[in-house]
Amino acid sequence: MRKEDCFFLGKIVSKYSYKGEVLAKLDTDDPQDYEQLESVLLEQGGALIPFFIREAQLHKSSLLRLDFEEVDDEETADAILGAELYLPLAALPPLEGNRFYYHEVIGFELVDQEAGSLGTIQAINDQSSQALFVAEKGGKEMLLPINDDILLSVDRDKQQIHVRCPEGLVDLYYGSE
């Protein structure tokens, strides 16, 4: 399986027991959704390797205690410390309403309630303190914050995201077309 076909679930942060159990910090708002996992993909040496789970249990908020079938001692657990966990995109629970996964909206049209089409979403920049839509129209790029004040609706059928841009933002990027 390729990394592009997967989503980042979390990272193994410490050992839990001398029997090889480990703790993983999950990158999710709903860690309880992942207690029934049968397997995960661990990144090792640039490849994604399937690891089968005997037992998974929440441990203090977003930590998941994992007992892998392939890991039975501290030495083997040491070898996977720091490994990133991935799952196939198909394993993501579907979202509804105005909630969306970043990868899901690439290619959607960004539509302002007053200015109309702002272009096509090319990427999501989540490397800054606030995530941004990166839209492109007519060879020009626009960055728009992703937040509840701006986001009006997500129309999955029409592949559009409707927004209310802050005053002057559209003119800043596209001029007064």
Is the pLDDT reported for residue 129 higher than 80? yes
CATH topology of domain 102-174: SH3 type barrels. (2.30.30)
pLDDT in tens, 2-53: 888 999 999 999 999 999 999 999 988 788 888 999 999 999 998 999 999 9
**Mean pLDDT, residues 124-148:** 92
Any idea where the domains of the chain sit in the sequence? 3-90, 102-174
CATH 2.40.30.60 fits 3-90, yes or no: yes
> pLDDT over 90 for what percent of the chain?
72
Token code pair at residue 2: 């390729």
Tokens 């007519």 found at: 138
Is-same-fold flag (3-90; 102-174)?
Answer: no
pLDDT in tens, 107-126: 999 999 999 999 999 999 98
Q: What kind and span of H or E run contains 133?
A: strand 132-137
Is the pLDDT reported for residue 177 higher than 80? no
Q: What is the pLDDT of residue 92?
A: 84
Cβ-contact 64, 34 below 8 angstroms: yes
Distance CA 42, CA 27 (A): 15
Is the pLDDT reported for residue 176 higher than 80? no
22 Cα distance to chain centroid = 22
